[in-house]
Structure 1
């Protein structure tokens, strides 16, 4: 039996695939016979180490009666059968004592054996390096009359996979960097009305990660490599595998109508996941548990449970999964626990936000008692409740799409009435909050259009800007309303994906239509204030459309070859990883620009203050009294051709009533024209006459007492 198992593994490795350090091993197993079986296999674990040429095995099962059997072994890779072998366990060349005959009761064997080099040399080196081998081995036990007694199917892997915790950590670091840059940019602008943040921002990065996670939730037979890749971004949708949390949710469900028989954390961690294409996998905790149980040991066989190693602790159940269920249960989260997991993670994040803001408020109050803190923090100190409410609203906006997905999934697949009530209440509350803000902004715009003719005050009025900017701050003024189709877009994606579970073709076509409509809207409007924002968001949307087209290749109804699906999955991983790397690079560039470049709003404010001070100085100069200098009297003096025109006075009047912002040349003309008014720049008939008499013109005379004729009496 063990010699045959080696041949199976050797043949399996001829496929392109791999997993850890030159090791090939089975990954879970499932019973693949359709009818009742007289032989049941409880456990199958086989691994081959290239460094030692040794195979480790752990097999156990039960049989209802003693009987002679024959075995058929079939190995497939990427949907293609590459090995098939029939053997008799009682034949001298393939003798297996535990199967000749199969005993009544329990039987099992585990241990290690060395494999001859003529078998191991057939394994190509590439089989130990390519990630996520898409292969399987199937063994069928038959009675002598040809009746099928048992069927076992197991995936074969090499230990290497694109599902690496480091990928999730790097993605989380990119999101954290985007959040930090967004906060720094917001602080730099000082909540200046009309200011927009640079792209990509925190929301765009999180929505991108959520899109990659949701791409792995369709009810289609994914290639193993893409299935593993999409799991790395589950954290962006609130899916966090936490044993204590899952056990608490199981307890909550058990008290509110839930059934824990085959939908609990303990059941899932001991199960083998069977996907719609027949491939198998183990949960994250199940893999760790299996690795711990496979220790190097001598061969140990047992019949009818006479050995302690034949206990049922390692027995596994096969568990058929697809779509959202397959995605979450790979993370050791039962499908019925999905919504409650996201709800509790959301509650933890909200609690952290509230505590953090209140703690910072306390720090500011203590600071104010012992010293004077910067003026930039005054707004936070006075309006921390508004900042807290807006932060939570931004979080709701960020999670609205996936929240819709999980709530609808809870309605259709949940078993706890309390969890369904919570899903309905939270989804209704989040939707009501977004609708309230939409109505408020719409009402403000309608009033502004009646009073001012447009909605510019949304970007110019400071109070209005502070209240509602989180919805439209990055959009151009004429496209402030684009946040409304964005909310509808997120809601539609979540509904189609959750309601269409089990119908991969419907899900994919629905998602393709939604993504294509959003792409058309972005191309038509190009709504973002900055050109970089338009280009980045359009490119992200193009990749989303292409991603859904690639998922269409995976749809089972189209009957596309497995090799084509695998190549498509690799291409999809390359494109999505490349765009993620570009976003990370842009975040670094934006952080450098934000830290080094002068704030444009502060620069414009300083320029405005400088121009205003110049205007005030010019006005003060014009208001100074100018002493009158008489000119020699001239009789019949005519207006000089070279005398200045009336334009300087008109410019002065316009400057006083018009805008305060002038360039230097205009100010110079204004000052020069005003300075010439004391001579002959502004003249009248009375002025010419007074000048001829040697008296100052009327505009420049100083007030004096009237002549009442007392001078003659004084002289007398």
Structure 2
């Protein structure tokens, strides 16, 4: 029965297909039932049609309980469209005489058939070239007398080509990494405005990649091209196959009381299918499938008669050739590797810079802020790494709590979740408290957030991408990631619930960023609003893929292709934007000219005092104690990272510094970063009073006063008195920050 049917199926498919790959082959590796209580099932189904030698090879193992005379109906579905229907009566076909009548029993067939040249000429060439061919052959067997449907099976056809390519994964990973590295280098060179923009865009790009990966991890049946496209970004979730790491994961699981799965070693005897869109099924079959999914104790794969269907996270792991019980450990270890590699790179860069300076190969003022405060910078980078890995670990840890692969892995999941949520929650609360103290003291959140180099380098990763008045927006972002990760990790048993939840979550983020526009400038707001809009559109597509609307199959097939096209185009645009901005940041002499100053006047607070251009500048820096050994990172600080969250402790060094500043009033009197709460001298000797509050839309202090002379010695004495009373030296300004 099946050899003849398989031949007819594949030939009919080739004749009707408008689509398919480069190595000329059409194959199917699973024969799946499409009705409840099907009288035929296959535990192994491998069929391959190779046009180069005109051969149709097949290896089929199954069980049939059908006996008597039957009729068969073949239907070819291409992207949900019924391209061909054909009825076969085995008693009227010479090639199918063995099926007239059919006999119940085991079926074990392994053979090859030759295809005639006239049949080959009917196959369109494009059938071998399109990636992720979405074509299915469905066979329905009915009793020739009673017309009762006895069995329904379907075979997914593939041409061996896919948009899931390692090259795509490598390119996206490298460009995202280059953006982060370029921002760090640019920050070290003192171009803080450029560094902030490049880092913000690189982080948003990385977030978009993780969003694509999360869509692929949802338990929604996906068109083949959508599943393949989202697989390209699973590297951002740590789903990367490495041989020795898989052996380590298996060993660790066994050592901590778990039992590893062996699905990848059973491919020769077990039919394994990744969940795809099921089209054209009757209502009874669809309802039965949903009931089976809900009652499935595993909630991530369905096993029936030696047939296994993976969906969600297990589908992603299987496509990456990772055993399902190794998925969590693989992602966890790659996150640890990311952390360790980052630490090693920062420490190595510190000592390389010092070595080059001592050898005279690099100017002593290059990366001086990083070299003097590298430990603080490293702590800030570690916080940023935790922020990058937060979506990955939230999903995998919550999912591990439902899988419980081993006691040791459950402990790792709980510890990691609690630690990361605690660290990011505590860091966010620190930023909010510092900003609120700054508003109380200086009527401006940006003053303390940007004027202290240690606070900026340690906590800046949470707020530099936002305008000063929106310093709090990191909290909604973290909440968005946490809730989204919980639905993806915990709701693997119901793809419809995930699709609806993601739609609401993405809609909330899109509305938030569109209305509040919290990012640092118009370009950055536009960049992130575009990403939020694309993610929201993708969530709408996923709701359709979940089949809640019972739409025709052709709708789902076409929407799958559209999903790939607009996401591929959008990803390419983002990659080019980040690549170009990174190139300008690293290879231009003054990249800050490409960006306008921030309207929150952060540049006035973080202007580097190590970028000296004149002798008087050098004398002023010496007077402020920013020479060798007295850098802003090294001199006594006022305790911004202590519990008071402000410059609250009056230090002798600050008072001495204020006295030193008076010695240079005759020669060098540039304005320091002035608190908007200070009374500034007006152009005619009067006193300027700043606005009583900061609304986030205009500069908190008149920009014309920055860089202007103080005017009179009396005003300087008033300034010194204010500093002593408020214990906040305005010379505690940062010299740049790492992103």
TMscore range, shorter length: 0.7 to 0.9
Between the aligned partners of 2:614 and 2:496, the Cα distance in structure 1 is 60
* Change beyond 3 A, Cα 1:384–1:24: same
Q: 1:128-527 residue pairs with structure 2 within 5 A? A: 128-139=128-139, 152-189=153-190, 196-198=196-198, 201-260=201-260, 265-267=264-266, 271-275=271-275, 277-278=277-278, 317-363=306-352, 374-455=364-445, 456-527=447-518
Q: CA deviation at 1:67?
A: 7.6
Distance 1:364 1:195, change over 3 A: closer
Deviations 1:132-180 (A, max 9, x none): 2222234567899989887653211223322222222222232233233
Distance 2:136 2:195 in 1: 57
Q: For 2:348 and 2:708, how far apart are their aligned partners in 1?
A: 47
Is the Cα contact below 8 Å between 2:328 and 2:397 reproduced in 1?
yes
Aligned to 2:122: 122
Q: CA RMSD in A?
A: 4.1
Q: Aligned partners of 1:164, 1:612: CA distance in 2, in Å? A: 54
User: CA deviation digits over 1:223-250, x for unaligned, max 9?
Assistant: 2221111111111111112343223323
Query: What is the rounded CA distance, in whole Å, between the counterparts of 1:660 and 1:31 in structure 2?
Result: 75
Deviations 1:208-265 (A, max 9, x none): 111111122333222222111111111111111234322332332234343345x654
Match of 1:709 in 2: none
Q: Name the SS of the counterpart of 2:207 in structure 1.
A: helix
The more displaced of 67-76 and 107-116 is 67-76
Alignment of 1:700-711 (within 5 A): none
CA 1:169–1:336 in structure 2 vs 1: closer, same or farther (change >3 Å)? Answer: same
Uncovered stretches (5+) of structure 2, i.e. residues with no partner: 280-304, 593-606, 621-661, 669-681, 688-703, 713-739
Q: Counterparts of 2:357 and 2:50 in 1: how far apart (Å)?
A: 67
TM-fit CA distance, 1:597: 4.7
Residue of structure 1 equivalent to 2:652: none
- TM-score w.r.t. the length of structure 1 is 0.73
Deviations 1:279-324 (A, max 9, x none): 9xxxxxxxxxxxxxxxxxxxxxxxxxxxxxxxxxxxx952122223
Give the one of 565, 568, 582 matched to 1:577: 568
**Alpha-carbon distance change, 398 to 148 in structure 1, aligned in 2, over 3 angstroms:** same
> CA–CA distance in 1 between the matches of 2:464 and 2:125?
55
In structure 2, C-alpha distance between the alignment counterparts of 1:512 and 1:323, rounded to whole Å: 17
Given that 1:17 and 1:158 are in contact with CA atoms closer than 8 Å, whether structure 2 keeps it comes out as no
- CA distance in 2: counterparts of 1:474 and 1:149, whole angstroms: 62
Contact 1:29 1:153 in 2 (8 A): yes
Task: Describe the shift of the 1:176–1:415 C-alpha distance in structure 2 as closer, same or farther (beyond 3 A).
Answer: closer
User: Would you say the 8 A contact 1:164–1:232 is kept in 2?
Assistant: yes
Residue 104 of structure 1 deviates from its aligned partner by 7.0
Structure-2 separation of matches of 1:592 and 1:268: 47
CA shift, 1:65, in A, is: 10
C-alpha contact (below 8 Å) 1:55/1:115 kept by paired residues: no
Question: Residue 23 of structure 1 contacts residue 48 of structure 1 at CA under 8 Å; is this kept in 2?
Answer: yes
Does the alignment pair 1:534 with 2:525?
A: yes
What is the CA distance between 1:518 and its match in structure 2?
1.6
Aligned residue pairs, count? 594
